[in-house]
Amino acid sequence: MEPYKIILLIHVAFGFSALATGIVPMVAKKGGKVHKFWGNVYYWSMFGVFVTTLMLFALKPKELKLQFFLGIAVLSFYFTFSGDRVLKMKKSATQATVLDRVAAGLALACGLAMLAYAVYGIIGLQNYFIAILFTVFGVLISVNARHDLQLFSGKIESGKMHWYFGHIAKIMGAYIATVTAFCVNMTRYLPEDSSVYLQLIPWLAPGILLGVGTAYYSKRQKEKRNMPVKFGFLTGMVRRVLVR
């Protein structure tokens, strides 16, 4: 069996491991032994997904699909990495180390590269499907990485229990990327003449649905602690539509 297929099989195994084990810490008692153990399994599964994606890209760097998945791998593992690291910054986000800053900087660079490729997708390739995907995920990783860098430098305040809500948001962000990858692989079963918009659903639906769900979970937790609740742009927009 050729190296590419071997690495791909390992990549899929890590992906399924992350998909399955990621659920356990969500339902387990927060901070308990089960939560920590399966959280570590999930972390290293995501690391495996990241490394194998790098290897696949190195073997076929000109393949457009792998170029995009490389960006997704950076996004998902950065969320996993920073979601774990934020627990070590309970006093303040300014406790960030050089490693934290470098990781955020690389993530930001990756996000900007994806946005640049989105422009190329429109001008050079005239492929609006690719442009939309690179734009959505490029903005997502750029905004989050930039926000982290601002937190690390003290330009914006961490906020009360920032480590708790930051951990939830980032780890869920990584899990959403895992679910998205699974859903995208199911598009092979769609009819070949499917519209672009139908093909976009597996790419965007997990992020929208699980993202809104995560936001509302955080909202309830803040309300229990009598903390101010702020909705993000997307969550607020969806909320206004639902309550009409």
Mean pLDDT by groups of 10 residues along the chain of 244 residues? 92 94 90 93 96 95 85 92 89 81 95 91 80 88 92 82 87 90 77 74 84 85 74 46 38
Q: Using CA atoms, how far apart are residues 206 and 190, in angstroms rounded to an integer?
A: 17
- Check residue 229 and give its pLDDT: 66
- Cα dist. 224→165, 177, 188, 212 in Å? 13, 29, 44, 19
Q: Using CA atoms, how far apart are residues 26 and 143, in angstroms rounded to an integer?
A: 25
- Check residue 237 and give its pLDDT: 43
State the Cα angle at 88 between 111 and 171, rounded to 5°. 45
Question: Sign of torsion, CA 177 178 182 183?
Answer: negative
- Check residue 230 and give its pLDDT: 63
| b/e sequence 41-63, b meaning 16+ C-beta within 10 Å | bbbebbebbbbbbbbbbeeeeee
Amino acid present at 191:
P
- Check residue 82 and give its pLDDT: 93
CB 171 within 8 A of CB 80: yes
Here the tokens at position 97 are 């180390």
Q: Using CA atoms, how far apart are residues 229 and 46, in angstroms rounded to an integer?
A: 30
- Check residue 81 and give its pLDDT: 95
Q: Residue 28: left if φ>0, alpha if ψ -120 to 50, beta else—which one?
A: beta
Question: Sign of torsion, CA 160 164 167 170?
Answer: negative
- Check residue 100 and give its pLDDT: 93
Q: How many CB atoms lie within 10 A of CB 175?
A: 25
Kind and range of the H or E element at 8? Answer: helix 3-21
CB 130 within 8 A of CB 178: no
- pTM for the full predicted model: 0.83
Q: Of the candidates 177, 180, 156, which has an alpha carbon nearest to the alpha carbon of residue 83?
A: 177
